[in-house]
Amino acid sequence: MSSDRFQVSLCLPAQAAAETEATIVKWHVAEKQNVVKGDILAEAESAKSTFQFESPCDATIVRLLAAEGTTVAFDAPVVKLETADPTMRSTDATVKSTETSRERPRAAVPMAGPDSSSDDARTVYLLGVGGYLPKRVITNKDLLAQFPEITEEYIFGVTGIKERRWADPDEKPTDMAHHAALEAIAKSHLKAKDIDGIVFATATPDFAMPASSCILAKHLGIAGIPAVDINAACSGWLYAIAVAKGFILSGISRNVLVVGSELQSRILDKHDRNTYFLFGDGAGAAVVSDNPEGHAIRQQILAADPAGLHMARREVRGYEVPANTPHADPWIRLDGKALFRFATESFATTVRQVIDRSGWTPESIRWVVPHQANSRIIKAAAQKSGIPFERFYLNIDRLGNTSSASIPLALTECEKYLKKTDKLVLCSVGAGVTYAAVSLEW
- Check residue 109 and give its pLDDT: 42
Active site residue 214: no
pLDDT value for 222: 95
**C-alpha–C-alpha distance, residues 106 and 96, integer Å:** 24
> How confident is the model at residue 122, as a pLDDT?
81
Chain centre distance of CA 271: 23
pLDDT reported for residue 336? 67
Annotated catalytic residue, options 11, 57, 214, 234: 234
**pLDDT tens-place string over residues 333-373:** 877 677 777 777 778 888 989 999 999 999 999 999 999 98
Give the CATH number of domain 6-90; options: 2.40.50.100, 1.10.150.120, 3.30.310.50, 3.40.50.1390. Answer: 2.40.50.100
pLDDT of residue 104: 38
Interatomic CA distance for residues 192 and 222, integer angstroms: 7
Reference 440, options 301, 273, 269; nearest CA is: 301
Angle at the Cα of 419 (from 414 to 425), degrees rounded to 5? 60
Per the rule left: phi > 0, alpha: psi between -120 and 50, beta: everything else, 326 is alpha
Please, which residues have CB within 8 angstroms of residue 18's CB and are 6 or more apart in sequence?
none
pTM for the model: 0.73
Known catalytic residue: 178? no
Quick one: CA dihedral 69, 74, 80, 83, positive or negative? Answer: positive
Which pLDDT score, from 0 to 100, does residue 47 have? Answer: 66
Q: What is the tens place of the pLDDT at every residue in 149-208?
A: 889 888 898 888 999 999 999 999 999 999 999 999 999 999 999 999 999 999 999 888
Distance of CA 329 to the CA centre of its chain: 24
C-alpha span between 126 and 299 (Å, rounded)? 13
- Predicted local confidence at residue 101, as pLDDT: 36
Domains 6-90 and 120-441 are alike in CATH topology = no
- Candidates 214, 371, 374, 427; catalytic one: 371
Catalytic status, residue 234: yes
Q: Which of 231, 255, 374, 401 is catalytic?
A: 401
- Sketch the domain layout of the chain as residue ranges: 6-90, 120-441
For residue 34, the one-letter residue type is N
8 Å CB contact between 167 and 405:
no
3-class DSSP state for residue 162? Answer: coil
Q: Cα-flanking dihedrals φ and ψ of residue 252, to 5°?
A: -75, -40
Tell me the C-alpha distance between 380 and 382, whole Å.
Answer: 5
CATH number of the domain at 120-441, please? 3.40.47.10
Angle 219-223-229 from CA coordinates, rounded to 5°: 70
Longest distance between any two alpha carbons in the chain, whole Å = 85
Strand, coil or helix: 214:
helix
Q: What is the DSSP string of 249-292?
A: HTTS-SEEEEEEEE--GGG--TT-TTTTTTB--EEEEEEEES-T
Residue ranges of the chain whose pLDDT lies below 70? 1-3, 15-19, 47-49, 90-121, 315, 331, 336
Q: Are 258 and 241 in contact (CB under 8 A)?
A: yes
